[in-house]
Structure formats: structure tokens, C-alpha cells
Chain A
Amino acid sequence: MSIYRKKLHEVLPQVEKPARYIGGEWNSSKGSQSEASIKIALAFPEVYEVGMSHLGLRILYGLLNQRKGTTAERVYAPWPDMEEKMRQEGLPLFSLESVTPIKEFDILGFTFQYELTYTNILNMLNLSGIPIKSEERTLEHPFVIAGGPTAFNPEPMSAFIDFFVLGDGEEVIIEVLDLYEQWNQEKEKSRQGFLMKVAEVPGIYVPSFYKSRYSPEGDFLETVPLMEVAPPIVTRRVVQDLNEAYFPVQWMVPYIRIVHDRIMLELFRGCTRGCRFCQAGVLYRPRRERTPEKLKDLCFQAVDHSGYDEVSLSSLSSSDYSGVEHLIEELQQQLQPRGVKVMLPSLRVDSFSVRLAQTLQEVKKSGLTFAPEAGTQRLRDIINKNVTEEDLLNTVTEAFKAGWNSIKLYFMIGLPSEKDEDLEGIVQLAKKVVQRFKETVEEKNRAGRLSITVSTSTFVPKPHTPFQWEPQISMEEVKRKQKFLKEKLKGRNLSYSWHEPEASLIEAVICRGDRRISEVIFKAWQMGCKFDSWSEKLEYQKWMQSFSLCGLNPETFACRRIDTEEALPWDHIHTGVTKKFLIREYERSMEGRTTPDCRENHCQGCGICNFEGLKDMGGSAIETSV
């Protein structure tokens, strides 16, 4: 037994949920003992139960372990009780598969899903004994890389990450490993040498090869390459045909309950509905569907390999899959007799979706969730959420008729141009839903009490969206709006839940931040910030202190309206959707004009498709393509 495994086994009896750290899950890799292979550690900067629930990392894990001469192992953020023991016992951060110190890996890859996990990344580097800042690393340290949605503004983390991989990782990561093997055989290796090689790969951004400039007043001016190999604009990578892409049918099965404790079948990537606040709607374009035949095959294999009894059809808006009804029918035909349930995680606001939910949930009627996002038609037009009040009321009527009596409604507060009338609209909408229930379901047929929950999150202006220039409302304003709703959403059947405004502010600052935010994150971590996404663990005052130590005002980043002429810290990162399109969408929104979904109408010119290699790929698109 290695010294680390021995130490680990001494520590485990003393921590909460020790199975978080034992690895060995069904279908997990054994980890390689061979010295020759490239070792890559895949890190999710959250606790095991959250990290294991992420599809993207499962894809990369399976894909990399398939590659000859490559070993991929996993690591998650140890919960604070475990961290304390590890520090006490001198146990460095280790991989789950072989209890190898993370420091001994060749590459350490983090997935960036949420800005409030950034301090965990710094903490994990520190627990590994890897210098937190890229510039301090030497040949004995792994290359620290990152990808994922929040990497599309890489600047706030640019001091800590050696290079970013932007877009679908399936192809790029293999190219990176090929280059690593080449570089590794060189006689006189240098970190710089490898970075020079990868900088030329499309989709890769090496932050140390760029420099940001600011005006004397401290305004961001531009980010420019310092080297010839570094492209002025880095463009996102896209896998065109998901049917050809790897899917982890050897589905890993954890020993303990995780957040999404089921198979996640990815029907498609991308969504073209065009909600103007939505970052995923831009980052994953174009829409690329897997064929029903492919999906059935992947699904049945994953069920066989895992022994799971639940499959979730997961995509950005799963009921948008062409022929989703037919697919569900065919999946159920095979799975129902085996006692395997099919689930739909998100529902569109229409009666079609209610019918789908009904076929999936024959008996047990848990709650349904819909997201009208805004309380009035005016505001819904501004955000391009093409849902009317009539749509919502008809949808809930269907749901009530079908026997549901628990419904959750998601809204955002602080959306551009929002007034108190729009909040009042949320209240009225919720009350109309209650009224609809009373009109639809006769008293004698009511099984259990009606429960309508309104849940709000605070609007965060996200890079690469038409609303990236908009301000976030101040914390005082968030609190006032929440109070407004709290007071009005009272009653026997109504309840209200909300997001902590502090977390939304920090999220907004980081996501719109430039390179100077790196130091803020670094200081916040030094003061002890970690697991910031857990509301009971978020230490807002420390964050504020860190901003002031860096001489930065968080509100300048989060709560300011940016002129569309101004340079943005993420202008050198190109998602494929043009800035021209974003500006046009922004302008249309201010005129209250909506933009239709390109798959039902003609192309709206977002710029992602080149109509040759890259295009919208749904059921209909496949038929027309040759």
C-alpha cells in the first residue's frame, strides 16, 4: 500500500461521508501503473456529489481513458472537514483512482461551471502543493488547464490557468495530448515551449501570451497578443456531429447518492430559442441533435452497463428535441418492462410538455416546474422569452386536469428595464394560476393541497449575451424587490423563495471582470473563502475586503451600463456568434421586439453556421442535408 493510501485510510474514519474519497466506482478506471503514459487529472471544483453529477467531465474521462497511453483520473474538492484532516496529516490532494498526488500528474484540467467555485480551484491547487499562480510553476508541476462555460471570460482566472480550452472539448483535448507527447520527447523541454505549441491550436487561449491595457482612469482598453503564435482572436471549437462524438455508455455508478443520481442522456447540444439573458443559448450553438437510433442505442447500453433505473433526457430544453414524443415512446417500450424510468428535467411552457410529463409519470405526481422568467408581456418580449400569459395558464390548466397540484414558477428579478409593475405581474400571474386551479379542479376531485411556489433569481449580465452591456441592479434594489414579492406572495397556496443577493453580485463582478479580478480572487481565497456557492459558507465581507485591498469597486464591474462602443475584457474570445448580432439583439430588445427561433423561421444571422461544415442539425436539418 502506498504511503498516501495508508494515510488516506487513517483519515477516512474521521470524516463525514468517507465514500466521497474512496474511488473504485463501477465503471471507473483503475488508473494506470505504467510510467510511460500521460497522466491527466480531471478536476471538478465542488464536492463529490456535485462533481460526479456532471456529464461533461464524464465524457472527457471516458474519452481520455480510451486513448492509448493515457490515464485520466478524477479529483473533487474535499469538504472542509476532510481538508482539515489532510492538512493535519500532510496528505496532499490525490486522485480517486490510484491515490496519486495531483502534483505528479502531467496535466490538471478544471471544469469551469460557475464563478463561485473559483476559490475552490485555488484551494485545490494549494492542497496539491502546486503554485497557485501560473508564473511560479516549473517543469515539475502539471500544466493547469480549464474549460467550460465560464471560461468564455477567462480573464478573472488568467493568473492561475496555464491555458484554456474553449468550446466542445472532445477534439481539442486529443490534439493537446498529441502535442504533449511530441513535446515530452524533446531533449530540452521548457513550459514555454509546450505553451507555444498549444497556442497555435484553434480554441486554445494561453493567457500569459497576452497583455491587457487600461486607461489612466482604470478603464479596460484591450487585450493584445505578445507573441506571434498567439492569435488576436481565439475562436470556440465545435463538434459538428454528435452522432460521431463519444458518449460514456460505460456509465460510472457512485457508491453514495449524488445530486443527479441517474443516467444523463444528452439528446442534443445547443438551443436556438434566443432568450437574451441566456449564456448557454449562445455558447452551445448551433443546435446539434443525435438521431433517435443513436440515442436508443446509447441509452440501452448505458442502462445495461450501469444498472441504473432512471434515465434523464438532458439538454438545454429537452422537449425541443425533434420527435421527442416518439423517442420517449420507443425508450419506454423497452425500459418500462425493466422497471427503468425516463425523466424530463426541464419543461417548456406549453401543453405538449405537460402531455410528455404525463406519459413519463403515470403514477407519482411530483411537482412541475415552468420558467416564464418575467411577470409581464412587455418584459418577456424584452428578454425574448416567447411565452404568453395565455400559454402559461393553458399549460397549468392541462397540468391541473392531469392531476398535478404542485407547481413551481421561475422568474428573474432585476432584468433590464424592470419596473414594479413587472414584479406586480409576477404576483398577478401566480394568483391567476391559483385561480385557474379553483376553476379547473372541482373540490371533490382535489387530492392534496395546491402549492404554487414562485422562485426568483437575480439577473446577472453574462458575457457573450445580448444583455452583456446591461447593469445588474444594486444589492439594495435586489433586497427591496425581494421584500416586495415576499409581502405580496402570501396566502394559503402561495410561497416564495429567492437567491441570496450577495452571491449574485460576486457572480456578476467575476463574470464581467478583467485580469485585475485574479488578485481579488486570490486575496479572497487567502482570507479563507471557499465553497462560495454554498450560501452558508459564502463570506461576503471577506470578498468586499478583498476588493478594497485591490483598490477595485465591485459595482463598477457589476452594476454599470457598458456602452456598446466600449472594449470588453472578453472581446478576444469569439463564440462564433457575432458581436454585431448581439448588438442587434440588444437594440431590438430595447424596442420590445422579439426574434423568432431560427429553426421554425428563417436564419436570424447570429453567425454561428457557415452552412457547410457547421449548421443547425435537427431532425429536419438532417433530411435536407446531403
Chain B
Amino acid sequence: MKLQFKFSKEGSLRFISHLDLQQLFIRAFRRAKLPVAVKGGFSPQPKMSFASALPLGYTSSGEYLEVELTEDLPPREVKERLAAQIPEGIYVNQVEEVPSEKPSLMSRLVSALYLITFTTVQPFDRNVFEDAVKEVLQNEEVIIVRRSKKKVKQLNIIPYILNIEVLPTNNQFRGEMRLHLKSGPGGSVKPTEILNLLEKQNSMEILERKAHREALFIE
């Protein structure tokens, strides 16, 4: 049977990578003695996949995972057994059965909603910042550069942005925005990449930034 799990990732566990999170779930399922199906002969891999990899450092309240079990078990029982074996910081909120012929979560992912909070050195002017956001969104093309160890890649971020909303805060050194960004097989842009761009364009100095994924939207 195929099960879909909705979970959140909070606190210190935002500092573990996507790969580490996979390992965490594999071990938690094994501790809970939940029989995960495997694929591949020589080095069998559990049939387990995530809707989207959450970047290191981000918290989230809307992650999805699907897992195939070799045994039919009530989702409620699975949820309880797993919850007893999962470390603090990961909370499984929902478990439901999905038809096994349904395409993978990853292929059905459409967009994601993020909340970004940051503190600034200079007092933060929300109006100025909002104008800066509008200006960026007016363009047809805004290029950011991604550097990895081996290559430098250019990316136009505009097609990925569905909406950016600058939120009011009660602290003059704090800014907050909610970003609705396209996600899924066609690639994506990280909200922190957009924040970095805005920081540079507005010659702001950001001290601390917090990124939270509020939701993943799946077809």
C-alpha cells in the first residue's frame, strides 16, 4: 500500500540536509517495524520519496513524503507507530492512503509558499522595500548567478515567481515577506536567493534571516 505523510520540520532539525532527513525516516520506519517496500537487487533502496527537498536551514510545516509498505496497515496505526520513533523536531501530522497508480508526489508538485523573516542593521522601511519588490516583478527577466563547486549557472527567476507579499511587522528592524513560488520538475528558485537579490539592489544589510516553508501545493 502507498501512504502519503504530511510532516513538519522544526527547531534544530532545520540544520540537517535532505539526504540526512531521508536516512532519518528510513531508520525511524525500521525502528517502528513498519515494512517498507524496496526496489533494486544489488543494493536495495526503500520505496520512499519526498515531494521536494527542503533546503538546509529552512523550517517547514508542510512537507510531504510517500512510502510504499509491503503490508496493509491502518494509516492511523502507522502514524502512531512512526510518531513514537521519530526524533523531536519532525512531526507527522497526517497519514493517508493514496492509490498506488497515482503519479509521484514530485511530479505533481506545483508551487510552494514561504515565509521569510529577516532583521536589518538600518531601520527597515516597508514601503521602500515593497516598491523594490514591485520593480523587480515588472521585469521580464531578472538573472541571478548560481555558483557550485564546478560551474557557474545563470537563471532567470521571473517565471518562477507567482507572488511576493511584503508583510507588516511590529519591529522597525525586522522585515517579513511571503513568497509564492513555482516548484516542481521544472526547477525552482529559493526564496533566500530572492532576498539576497533584494538586499543587494537596495544596499540593505541583513543580519539574520529565517526561512520557513508554509505549504507545498500538489495537483
Contacts and interface: CB of A to CB of B under 8 A. Distances in A.
B16 A256 contact: yes
A240 interface: no
Contact of A309 (B16, B20, B30, B209): B30
B87 A26 contact: yes
A10 B28 contact: no
A306 interface: yes
Given A307-B27, A309-B30, A13 B16 contact: no
A309 B27 CA distance: 8
Contacts of A363: 41-42
B38 interface: yes
Interface of B: 12-13, 15-17, 20, 23-24, 26-31, 38, 41-44, 56-57, 85, 87-89, 208-209
Given A18-B15, A255-B16, A24 B27 contact: no
Contacts of A257: 20, 23
B31 A307 contact: yes
A24 B31 contact: no
Interface of B: prevailing SS:
mixed
Given A13-B57, A24-B87, 7 more contacts: A10-B208, A13-B209, A23-B12, A26-B31, A255-B23, A309-B30, A363-B42
Contacts of B31: 26, 304-307
Nearest to A24: B12
B15 A19 contact: yes
Interface in A10-30: 10, 12-13, 18-19, 22-26
Residue among A24, A304, A306 with the highest chain B CB neighbour number at 10 A: A24
Contact of B44 (A22, A24, A339): A339
A257 B208 CA distance: 28
Interface residues of A, number: 25
A307 B42 contact: no
A364 B42 CA distance: 7
Given A255-B24, A339-B44, A307 B12 contact: no
Given A13-B57, A307-B85, A363-B42, A22 B28 contact: no
A174 B24 CA distance: 34
Nearest to A28: B87
B38 A339 contact: yes
Contact of A24 (B38, B89, B208): B89
A308 interface: yes
B213 to A, nearest CB: 16
Nearest to B87: A26
A26 B27 contact: yes
Interface of A: 9-10, 12-13, 18-19, 22-26, 253, 255-257, 304-309, 338-339, 363-364
A406 to B, nearest CB: 16
Given A24-B88, A307-B27, A307-B85, A364 B43 contact: yes
A306 B15 contact: no
27 contacts: A9-B12, A10-B208, A13-B57, A19-B15, A19-B16, A19-B17, A19-B20, A22-B13, A22-B16, A23-B12, A24-B88, A25-B87, A26-B31, A253-B27, A255-B13, A255-B16, A255-B20, A255-B23, A255-B24, A256-B16, A256-B20, A257-B23, A304-B31, A307-B26, A307-B30, A308-B27, A364-B43
B20 to A, nearest CB: 5
A253 B24 CA distance: 9
Contacts of B23: 255, 257
Contacts of B30: 307-309, 338
A339 B36 CA distance: 11
A304 B42 CA distance: 24
Contacts of B27: 26, 253, 306-308
Contacts of A10: 208
